[in-house]
Amino acid sequence: MRRQVVIIGGGPSGLLLSQLLHRDGIETIVLERRSRDYVLGRIRAGVLEWGSVEMLRTAGVDGRMNDQGLVHGGTYLAARNRGFRIDFEARVGRKVMVYGQTEVTADLYAARDAMGGEIIHEAEGVAPHGLDTAAPWVSYVKDGTEHRIDCDYVVGCDGFHGVSRGCIPESVRTEYERIYPFGWLGILSEVPPVSHELIYANHPRGFALCSMRNPQLSRHYIQVGLDEKAEAWSDDAFWDELRRRIPQDAADTLVTGPSIEKSIAPLRSFVCEPIRWGRLFLVGDAAHIVPPTGAKGLNLAISDVHYLWQGLRARYGDGEEEGLARYSERALARVWKSVRFSWSMTTLLHHFPEQGAFGQRIQDADLAYLEQSEAAQTALAENYVGLPF
């Protein structure tokens, strides 16, 4: 079997790249280790930068998003149970869209099916070969039979724990990492959102976030220690702790209900350099991880797809190689800016074990300055809605 591009990983970045390339007449095949049901069952964030919205529209997968997505023109920050709003439209003239990653993935699957896109699920033992040659290939096992796909390029969209990043030799690869000393305990509940926009709350007891998936499905988080277990938290205990940390007016109107999903996610910042080696390109979590505080994970994957799609399109369209040659440089320049923003939001809003009373007062002062300064709000809004591709 031969295809022009083999994509390892059937999450949203791999599916989106496959969809865009297919529309340009470029042959792709997607290899996914898990079943489709498993992929669609993963709970992920749902804030899309407007550049991401436009990319999904370009891919022709915007129908449900346009109908069901929630357009937000701002967000709320809070300190010590008192909140204030940052108006994105007033500061930078742009907005964001709340539309869950699971929904994005479902839309992409539907589009790939409609176009006859090739997706191999439960592909085991996926292994790229010959990446530093002009004739790479990928092997995998399906139903006990080994298969080989010859190709021009291999794209690793297989996440932080996937096989792709490790194919870049250690002598070439540099990895930068920051592990945060806490996690997020999140619950999904069929209750209306407490606010029509997200609330990010700093509190001496720890960070909290109130978000939503749709008008009747809410996602809430609280900062917890890395040694805590989700099952040790009853629903009532979670709701009580959330009320302690968010603005008083939100706590007074919070609607609670049973959780339909509950989990703890660790936080890290991670970047691999370079994200191209030979005929291999890394995309999304295979290349970088950000804490969810800045809502950048999926958006960075989509911006990676943008740069790589443009490069492959030029390569197959008119033989132009510059886009592929500069993919790593261009993508990483934007990645590092978003990594910085996500780190700064995490530092601003979370309680760190070593910070003490002095550190809390510094955070209070930072948030007070944000509330009063149009310049500071403009900088935050510019980064939150997404820097240009």
Mean pLDDT score, 188-196: 96
Which pLDDT value is given to residue 44? 77
Instruction: Evaluate whether residue 82 is within a structural domain.
Output: no
Angstrom distance (rounded) from CA 244 to CA 169: 49
Instruction: Evaluate whether residue 77 is within a structural domain.
Output: no
Mean pLDDT score, 323-332: 98
Strand partners, 85: 76
pLDDT category at 42 given cuts 50, 70, 90 is: confident
Note the Cα 158 to chain centre separation in Å. 13
Of 180, 205, 209, which Cα lies nearest the Cα of 194?
Answer: 209
Same domain, 277 and 262: no
> Does 45 have pLDDT greater than 90?
no
**Catalytic residue flag (residue 296):** yes
Do 98 and 211 touch, CB atoms closer than 8 A? yes
Which pLDDT value is given to residue 380? 98
CA dist 247 to 72, 103, 191, 278, 347, Å?
Answer: 19, 30, 18, 51, 19
Which pLDDT value is given to residue 298? 97
Q: How do residues 118-171 score in pLDDT, each as one tens digit?
A: 999 999 999 999 999 999 999 999 999 999 999 999 999 999 999 999 999 999
Which pLDDT value is given to residue 164? 98
In 3-state terms, the chain is what percent helix, strand and coil (to 5)?
Answer: 40, 30, 30
Angstrom distance (rounded) from CA 273 to CA 82: 41
Q: Which amino acid is at 283?
A: V
Report the CATH number at residue 377.
3.30.9.10
Same domain, 234 and 329: no
Same domain, 259 and 302: no
Strand partners, 219: 188, 211
| Count of domains observed in the chain | 2
Same domain, 141 and 207: no
**Catalytic residue flag (residue 192):** no
Identify the active-site residue in 292, 306, 307, 351. Answer: 292
Same domain, 259 and 357: yes
Which pLDDT value is given to residue 46? 85
- State the CB neighbour count (10 A cutoff) for residue 93: 10
Query: What percent of the chain shows pLDDT beyond 90?
Result: 98
**Catalytic residue flag (residue 142):** no
Which pLDDT value is given to residue 241? 98
Strand partners, 2: 150
Instruction: Evaluate whether residue 64 is within a structural domain.
Output: yes
Angstrom distance (rounded) from CA 13 to CA 62: 15
**Catalytic residue flag (residue 350):** no
**Catalytic residue flag (residue 38):** no
Q: How do residues 238-281 score in pLDDT, each as one tens digit?
A: 999 999 999 999 999 999 999 999 999 999 999 999 999 999 99
Same domain, 111 and 245: no
Report the CATH number at residue 133.
3.50.50.60
Identify the active-site residue in 296, 306, 350, 351. Answer: 296
Mean pLDDT score, 358-365: 96
What is the residue-averaged pLDDT of the chain? 97
Whose tokens are 């008119």? That residue is 318
pTM for this entry: 0.96
Torsion of CA 210, 215, 217, 219, to 10 degrees: -10
Instruction: Evaluate whether residue 111 is within a structural domain.
Output: yes
> Does 6 have pLDDT greater than 90?
yes
Instruction: Evaluate whether residue 172 is within a structural domain.
Output: yes
Identify the active-site residue in 200, 221, 307, 327. Answer: 200
Give the domain extent around 356: 181-267+352-385
Mean pLDDT score, 214-232: 95
Identify the active-site residue in 72, 220, 306, 351. Answer: 72
Longest dimension (CA), the chain: 64
Same domain, 274 and 381: no
